[in-house]
């Protein structure tokens, strides 16, 4: 077990010392500044917006949820970028560069090595996602005096969503080259986002076929379902026209939600992880 | 006590290519064995199977009696890959510390200091890997392979990036290790180096062992060279046993004999004979 933590530490150091990490931090800082500006101007002009008579919309909730939904999307996106760049070459890429062989030759076991890489990348990304989500929530809360119905869970679900991506990326790194794996994981991520948008469209059009297709995609790529569930939770108590408008999207959601998808996401990570371990054990380096 | 390395009927197939076709090999305690062969002969595949990086198609390799690739086997060996790299942001000392922790070595700072001194990197302990020359990284790789005092050392082209001084450092190191009873399997293209340090040589060609033996056993008589007042004369086909007679005959004929040299084939000649000029 000690060697697992040694490799976790190795992964942490790799993560924070790579230039890519600095790039993500700069992008994050830039995003948070822009996000604060957006909040500032939206909430400043909120008082001047008057809904048509007879339309009962809570404009502050609508604006706050919309803006925090935007922050959650950016958090997920940046978290996935970080996760993919940390793990896309964990096996094939490191083996091609000759970084992996000296480690695998040590008495630590391939399973321990891969688990450690997951824990290392997962630790960095979880801290990052929770920090950025919290920063977004605090900016919206302090600027617009609006707080989500659930404070912590949406961030946790985003973090678990990124862990799903890390598991997929590690599996891909065993069988694909680093570049091919990076492209493949980003395509899966894009497919998940499209599926989420489809769900909103299907809901608006009341199309069961589209909603059904989206539901299948949510189970196949649970990071998207977790993100949608997180969006749902920030306006869990919104009702009436406000709730309906938020559900129309693009930052409404939660068509597949609840403990089912959460448990499935954890099981999904375990299954994908087991596949990655089995493939890694058989792979020649 | 089992041999440091035992390889039996080892076979490896990559798709339609047979990289190894049933290799048998042993490296005894404290023995230094040179593995030679052209590119694609299967040398690196053999080493990688022994280290546990590649799975054999058939046959087996054992390190100190334990199946290759098992933790017990990996505890006994040090390995320097042909193509390796350490993270650029680590210092030389940190690389060794990482490998100490992975190998379960309790040598601490004293071991790291000693290893860096052995490979001539004492002054570079705090230098980052990405600031090191290729030769320095290669020497750090050799130091890394010695972490934890392994019983068997597997070195895949350890001197490929080294200058003559660096090669000499590694050669002296190998001789010292042999003196301490460490077994070494040295995969190298540098025949002169192998000839100087190895107890035994194994030549692979097309995934098979074509020649094996001590450098002395492998060498063939090439004649005797006689240096007299008439100049130097070479007697082809003569052996060491013929030397006293040839000297006596020359003296009887009134010649002044200044020297006699028994000529044997070099390892290079043995190698070229074995591989038939094959390069890859």
**What is the 8-class DSSP label of residue B221?**
E
B53 with A109: Cβ contact below 8 A: no
Classify residue A52: in a domain, yes or no.
Answer: no
Which pLDDT tens digit goes with each residue over B60-106?
A: 999 999 999 899 999 999 999 988 999 888 999 999 999 999 998 99
B89 with A17: Cβ contact below 8 A: yes
CB of A147 within 8 Å of any CB in chain B? no
Whole-number percent of chain A with pLDDT over 90: 50
B101 vs A contacts (CB less than 8 Å): 2-3, 6
The number of residues making up chain A comes to: 285
Domain ranges of chain B: 5-217, 221-264
Dump strand ranges (E) for chain B: 5-14, 17-27, 32-36, 58-63, 66-67, 77-80, 152-156, 183-187, 200-205, 208-213, 221-228, 231-235, 257-264
Question: Residue B88 CA to chain centroid, in angstroms?
Answer: 28
CB of A55 within 8 Å of any CB in chain B? no
User: In this predicted structure, what is the pLDDT of residue B67?
Assistant: 94
B86 with A102: Cβ contact below 8 A: yes
Q: What is the pTM of this model?
A: 0.84
Return the SS3 of B274: helix
The total of other beta-carbon atoms located within 10 Å of residue B237's CB is 9
Cα(A84)–Cα(A164) distance, integer angstroms: 11
Q: What is the dihedral of CA A123, A129, A132, A137, to 10 degrees?
A: -130
Say if residues B28 and B73 touch (Cβ distance below 8 Å).
no
Say if residues A281 and A111 touch (Cβ distance below 8 Å).
yes
Nearest CA in chain B to A18: B89
Residue A262's closest CA among A207, A216, A223, A205? A223
Mutation to test the A interface, candidates B97, B101, B147, most A Cβ within 10 Å: B101
CATH topology of domain B5-217: Rossmann fold (3.40.50)
Classify residue A51: in a domain, yes or no.
Answer: no
Cα(A129)–Cα(A24) distance, integer angstroms: 12
Classify residue A247: in a domain, yes or no.
Answer: yes
Query: Cis bond leading into A250, ω under 30°?
Result: yes
Nearest to A6 among B84, B98, B141 (CB): B98
Give the domain range for residue A86. Answer: 2-45+57-282
User: In this predicted structure, what is the pLDDT of residue A252?
Assistant: 63
CB of A98 within 8 Å of any CB in chain B? yes
Which pLDDT tens digit goes with each residue over B31-55?
A: 999 999 988 899 999 999 999 999 9
Say if residues B99 and A102 touch (Cβ distance below 8 Å).
yes
Confidence of residue A173 (pLDDT cuts 50, 70, 90): very high
Smallest CA–CA distance, residue B210 to chain A, in Å, is 26
User: In this predicted structure, what is the pLDDT of residue B179?
Assistant: 84
Confidence of residue A241 (pLDDT cuts 50, 70, 90): low
Classify residue A66: in a domain, yes or no.
Answer: yes
Dihedral sign, CA of B233, B235, B236, B238? negative
Cα(B266)–Cα(A232) distance, integer angstroms: 79
Classify residue A50: in a domain, yes or no.
Answer: no
CB of A101 within 8 Å of any CB in chain B? yes
Which pLDDT tens digit goes with each residue over B136-160?
A: 998 999 999 999 999 999 999 888 7
Mutation to test the A interface, candidates B48, B98, B104, most A Cβ within 10 Å: B98
B84 vs A contacts (CB less than 8 Å): 98-99, 101-102
What total of structural domains would you count in chain A?
1
- Residue B280, pLDDT above cutoff 60: no
Q: A153-175 and A222-234 are packed helices; what angle lies between their axes, rounded to 10 degrees?
A: 170
B208-213: strand order across its sheet: B77-80, B152-156, B183-187, B32-36, B200-205, B208-213
Residue B129's closest CA among A270, A74, A17, A173? A17
Nearest to B85 among A17, A99, A105 (CB): A99
């Amino acid at each position: 077990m000690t060697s697992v933590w040694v490799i976790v530490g190795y992964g942490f150091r790799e993560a924070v010392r790579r230039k890519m990490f600095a790039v993500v931090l700069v992008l994050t800082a830039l995003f948070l500044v822009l996000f604060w500006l957006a909040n500032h101007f939206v909430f400043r002009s909120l008082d001047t917006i008057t809904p048509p008579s007879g339309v009962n919309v809570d404009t502050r909730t609508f604006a706050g949820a919309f803006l925090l939904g935007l922050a959650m999307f950016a958090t997920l996106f940046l978290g996935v970028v970080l996760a993919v760049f940390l793990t896309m070459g964990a096996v094939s890429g490191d083996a091609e560069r000759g970084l992996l062989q000296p480690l695998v030759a040590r008495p630590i076991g391939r399973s321990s090595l891969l688990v450690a890489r997951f824990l290392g990348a997962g630790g960095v990304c979880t801290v990052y996602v929770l920090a950025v989500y919290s920063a977004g929530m605090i900016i919206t809360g302090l600027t617009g005096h609006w707080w989500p119905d659930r404070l912590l869970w949406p961030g946790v679900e985003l973090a678990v969503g990124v862990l799903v991506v890390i598991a997929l990326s590690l599996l891909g790194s065993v069988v694909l080259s680093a570049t091919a794996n990076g492209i493949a994981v980003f395509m899966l991520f894009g497919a998940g986002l499209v599926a989420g948008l489809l769900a909103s469209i299907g809901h608006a059009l009341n199309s069961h076929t589209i909603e059904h297709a989206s539901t299948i995609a949510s189970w196949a790529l649970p990071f998207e379902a977790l993100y949608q569930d997180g969006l749902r939770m920030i306006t869990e108590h919104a009702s009436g026209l406000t709730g309906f408008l938020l559900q129309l999207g693009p930052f409404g959601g939660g068509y597949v939600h609840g403990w089912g998808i959460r448990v499935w996401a954890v099981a999904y990570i375990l299954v994908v992880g087991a596949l990655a371990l089995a493939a890694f054990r058989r792979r020649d380096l | 006590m089992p041999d440091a390395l035992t390889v039996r009927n080892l076979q490896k197939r990559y798709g339609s290519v047979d990289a190894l076709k049933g290799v048998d090999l042993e490296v005894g305690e404290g023995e230094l064995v040179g593995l030679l062969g052209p590119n694609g002969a299967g040398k690196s595949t053999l080493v990688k199977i022994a280290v546990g990086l590649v799975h054999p198609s058939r046959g087996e390799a054992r390190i100190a009696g334990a199946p290759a690739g098992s933790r017990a086997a990996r505890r006994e060996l040090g390995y320097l890959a042909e193509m390796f790299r350490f993270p650029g942001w680590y210092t030389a000392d940190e690389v060794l510390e990482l490998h100490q922790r992975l190998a379960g070595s309790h040598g601490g700072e004293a071991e790291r200091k000693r290893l860096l001194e052995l490979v001539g990197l004492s002054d570079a302990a705090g230098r980052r890997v990405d600031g090191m020359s290729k030769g320095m990284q290669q020497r750090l790789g050799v130091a890394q392979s010695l972490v934890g005092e392994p019983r068997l050392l597997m070195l895949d082209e350890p001197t490929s990036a080294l200058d003559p001084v660096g090669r000499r450092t590694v050669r002296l190191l190998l001789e010292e290790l042999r003196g301490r009873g460490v077994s070494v399997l040295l995969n190298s293209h540098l025949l002169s180096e192998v000839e100087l340090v190895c107890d035994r040589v194994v030549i692979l060609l097309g995934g098979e062992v074509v020649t094996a033996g001590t450098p002395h056993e492998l060498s063939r008589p090439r004649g005797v060279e006689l240096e007299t007042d008439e100049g130097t004369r070479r007697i082809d086909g003569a052996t060491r046993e013929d030397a006293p007679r040839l000297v006596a005959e020359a003296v009887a004929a009134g010649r002044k004999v200044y020297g006699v040299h028994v000529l044997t084939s070099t390892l290079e000649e043995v190698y070229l004979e074995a591989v038939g000029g094959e390069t890859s």
